[in-house]
Structure 1
Amino acid sequence: MTPYDATFLQGSGPQRSGLHAPAPLIDGFGRTVTYLRVSVTDRCDLRCVYCMAEHMTFLPKKDLLTLEELDRVASAFITLGVRKLRLTGGEPLVRKGIMNLIGGLSRHLASGALDELTLTTNGTRLEAFAAPLAAAGVRRINVSMDTRRPDLFRKLTRGGDLAAVMAGLKAARAEGMAVKINAVALASDNARELPELIAWAHGEGMDITLIETMPLGEIEADRTDQYLSLRQVRTELESFWTLEDLPLSTGGPARYVRVAETGGRLGFITPLSHNFCESCNRVRLTCTGVLHTCLGQEDERDLRAVLRAGASDADLVAAIRRAVDAKPQGHDFQIARSASPAVARHMSTTGG
């Protein structure tokens, strides 16, 4: 541990005069962690069929990190070299006081310690939050939206209102935010609609990323029926579009192409048909303070316990370093009727 590690919360970042930046967070396989995803709540105002059970039991408030604890852990990571911070859920915009957290974290943008503060949202509350998010320095957001058909949207989300999401998209773009659509590819529901969804997003000036369904958490539905390999989707798209591979990285797991005919960017997140572990630079903090260094493994480090035991800044840094050093080499997701979920925790708890 460097001398700077123990004093990181006393200033705004490594630029403080007379202090050296701490050693970067490098795992046991030589990958540098520069990206932290933080779930601020396990709650959501939708019940997407591939993500949650219809009748979820949510965590009691006492189990969740407070806004101050979330800020403290995120700030520790930023000082240790994290340059991108994404807030997720559940649905982050349902967390009471969320703008206080975002406004506080924006100090790291102002100091130059953080390159990007962003979030992933379902868009239902985005119309009301777009202006304050932009004012806090959020320049780019991801919106989860699997279809443009109102009836199918209601089915997939168990009652969601697509009009509210569309209003949120309009408000975010009016504030100058770049918007990327995230769509889970579902064999039984939106597979035929994907080309239309891609063309629509590109026509609106938005990137779009397709995601394979992942075996996380016990839900009523059998994901085997919904799994659609994005290798297959890409092959079908290439039968009528020209896809040009791009050397683009936004710090996430997507591989990008440009669609020549639309001029837009299209991403593929393929945890099953082609994992992305070799370049993984991210870790995830749950809303309960558990740090997961791999999405598809049951690894965990309880930072809430560290915090609530009266940890010093040096104790917190040491716990983070131990967790990152033990980051697994990769995951091994499987989609099969005989296979249990890769991990028992739900995506809404893990943090996107």
Structure 2
Amino acid sequence: MTPYDAIPGQGPQALTDGFGRAVTYLRVSVTDRCDLRCVYCMAEHMTFLPKAEVLTLEELDRIASAFVALGTRKLRITGGEPLVRKGVLGLIGSLGRHLSSGALEELTLTTNATRLAEFAGQLADAGVRRINVSLDTLKPDLFRRLTRGGDLAKVVAGIEAAQAAGLRVKINAVALKDDNAAELPELIAWAHGRGCDMTLIETMPMGEVEADRTDQYLSLTALRAELESFWTLRDIPLSTGGPARYVEVAETGGRLGFITPLSHNFCEACNRVRLTCTGTLHTCLGQDDASDLRAVIRAGASAEDLVEAIRLAVAGKPRGHDFRIARAAAPAVARHMSTTGG
């Protein structure tokens, strides 16, 4: 047992921000790299981080485990694409010890599924029970264009492998007015027909990309109204730890979530923070706040020093984000989603 291996019911006082919100959910980016180049997420020609700036797997474990000791109940591994990081299954397996101890409720993953067929069984063995898969279209040509070269067949095979391994799969799709808006009902029905929950996400103004996001912004409030013209949507109190508000679709029997950072702010009950692969802690997705935990641990910090740095960062968590969509406006934050992590 390390100084960061929490014992249920014992250990330091739980993390609380300056507005009284308990922070119990940490999203951990293990890499800024990805094998796709989704048009709303990355620039076509990305410059990725040098290896020396990226946390080692041991450093990622140390920081994540410190959060668990402080009451974090859910860890989500993200990227970039997490499964392109060499050795990431070893990290996930190591973090699984917190599931065995009862200190952690859930260890999950967000992936584009291109390598999921290879790793699904190992993820299940490590204690992962549920994953999110990013998928915006079922049209191979459109998928190839949106991802700048991706193969839809690999993603579908990955989803099938995950389900065969016993993993529950939720499909995440970014709603794009000019590309997949008309297809979203079909995508929802496809996901529900495979036993997958589905979540729709409004495009977020993060990082410079070639396109003007104003052109692609689709309000999910308006989309929900359209869906209700032919489906029966019933609000349900489901919470998976994230910002989605869920409904049940009577006609498909499946659950549908809406993540609406622009049309409906979801900050009032925010319980999550994000650790980038460089060790920067962001307590808000839509603010430029940042605390350098890499500098803390590489300066020889003790367990107590790291805990104090985490507490100080979380205490400054903003009340909410400042996302907005406006033509020709700069992104709300300069960093790309692939750098922030999921």
The alignment's TM-score, normalised by the length of structure 1, stands at: 0.96
Q: In the alignment, is the contact (CA less than 8 A) between 2:112 and 2:135 conserved in 1? A: yes
Q: Does 1:14 align with 2:7?
A: yes
The equivalent residue for 1:136 is 126
Q: CA deviation at 1:9?
A: 3.0
Q: In the alignment, is the contact (CA less than 8 A) between 2:140 and 2:152 conserved in 1? A: yes
The equivalent residue for 2:108 is 118
Deviations 1:16-67 (A, max 9, x none): 8xxx431110000010000000110000000000000001000000000000
Measure, in 2, the Cα distance between the counterparts of 1:21 and 1:62. 33
The equivalent residue for 2:135 is 145
Q: CA deviation at 1:13?
A: 1.7
Deviations 1:157-180 (A, max 9, x none): 000000000000000000110000
Alignment CA distance shift 1:114-1:340 (3 Å): same
Q: Unpaired runs of 5+ in structure 2?
A: none
Q: In the alignment, is the contact (CA less than 8 A) between 1:9 and 1:313 conserved in 2? A: no
Q: CA deviation at 1:14?
A: 2.2
The equivalent residue for 2:90 is 100
Q: CA RMSD in A?
A: 1.0
Alignment CA distance shift 1:269-1:11 (3 Å): closer
Q: CA deviation at 1:332?
A: 1.6
The equivalent residue for 1:179 is 169
The equivalent residue for 2:70 is 80
Measure, in 1, the Cα distance between the counterparts of 2:2 and 2:25. 19
Q: In the alignment, is the contact (CA less than 8 A) between 1:36 and 1:285 conserved in 2? A: yes
The equivalent residue for 1:311 is 301
Alignment CA distance shift 1:15-1:31 (3 Å): closer
Amino acid of the structure 2 residue aligned with 1:35: Y
Q: In the alignment, is the contact (CA less than 8 A) between 1:215 and 1:333 conserved in 2? A: yes
Q: In the alignment, is the contact (CA less than 8 A) between 1:9 and 1:76 conserved in 2? A: no
The equivalent residue for 2:156 is 166
Alignment CA distance shift 1:111-1:337 (3 Å): same
Aligned-partner SS, 1:277? coil
Measure, in 1, the Cα distance between the counterparts of 2:83 and 2:108. 12
Instruction: Within 5 Å, give how 1:225-244 maps onto structure 2.
Output: 225-244=215-234
Amino acid of the structure 2 residue aligned with 1:21: G
Instruction: Within 5 Å, give how 1:1-352 maps onto structure 2.
Output: 9-10=2-3, 12-15=5-8, 20-352=10-342
Deviations 1:263-308 (A, max 9, x none): 1000000000001100100000000000000000000100000010
Aligned-partner SS, 1:119? strand
Measure, in 2, the Cα distance between the counterparts of 1:13 and 1:325. 21
Aligned-partner SS, 2:32? coil
Deviations 1:317-351 (A, max 9, x none): 00000000000000121111142100000000101
Q: In the alignment, is the contact (CA less than 8 A) between 2:203 and 2:213 conserved in 1? A: yes
What's the % identity of the aligned pairs?
77
Measure, in 1, the Cα distance between the counterparts of 2:117 and 2:185. 27
Q: In the alignment, is the contact (CA less than 8 A) between 2:279 and 2:294 conserved in 1? A: yes
How many positions carry a matched residue from both structures?
342
Deviations 1:73-94 (A, max 9, x none): 0000001000000000000000
Amino acid of the structure 2 residue aligned with 1:203: G
Measure, in 2, the Cα distance between the counterparts of 1:10 and 1:200. 46
Deviations 1:126-158 (A, max 9, x none): 000001000001000000000000000000000
Q: Which runs of structure 1 show a deviation greater than 2 angstroms over 4 or more consecutive aligned residues? A: 8-12
The alignment's TM-score, normalised by the length of structure 2, stands at: 0.99
